[in-house]
Amino acid sequence: MGAIYAHAQDYTGPKNLGPFRIDKDVSMNSLFARLGRPSSTKAETFCYRSADRKVFLTLTRMSAVYDETVAASVTLSSFRNCINRTVQITPDNLAGWKTDKGVGLASTEEQVEKAYGTPSKVDSIEGTNYGWVIYGDLANTDHPPEQRPELGSKVLVYQGAANDLSTAEFGIKEGRVVWISLSYNE
């Protein structure tokens, strides 16, 4: 099934996921204060997991071309989304990270569409597409990149006009959200 596109539209997706926002700058330091400061803050992407090992988060900073002190994107998932990277246990309640309209992990596909309307497009997860959701080297994992069942079967994508970098993606597995990515980065 490839992508199904809706009409060109203004961005109707979420403005936030937990404390991360795409409608205003959020400093990396404020997120480190909440999630836990990594031993080195020089990386581009940082990996966290909840103490109960049920929720995982990657946090990516803006490039130096823009402002590397500002967060650019987050991906929250119900499965390990950092491979062969240092993963820090966070005291923060990652399961409590929701969008501005209360959508989070385990929300239904219907709840996403009720909150944000018809997606800009619906993608099928096939082969290696959406492999980026899992940050790091996939060579030594249980499933090769083309067989990642935890990613789900489809993605609800919310994007704005061509000049708007705001993007929200909801990975759907068996009718429920298993990952959310929110970004305003290229």
Name the pTM for this structure: 0.89
Give the gyration radius of the chain's Cα atoms.
16
What are the extents of the domains in the chain? Answer: 4-183
Which class for 140: exposed (0-12), middle (13-18), buried (19 or more C-beta within 10 A)? exposed
Element (H, E) at 17: strand 16-17
Look at the block and give the residue holding tokens 């959310």. Answer: 180
In the chain (186 residues long), the average pLDDT of successive 10-residue segments reads 55 96 94 94 93 95 83 95 90 97 98 97 90 73 60 94 89 97 84
Q: How far apart are CA 52 and CA 58, in angstroms?
A: 17
> CA 148, 59, 64, 184 torsion: positive or negative?
positive
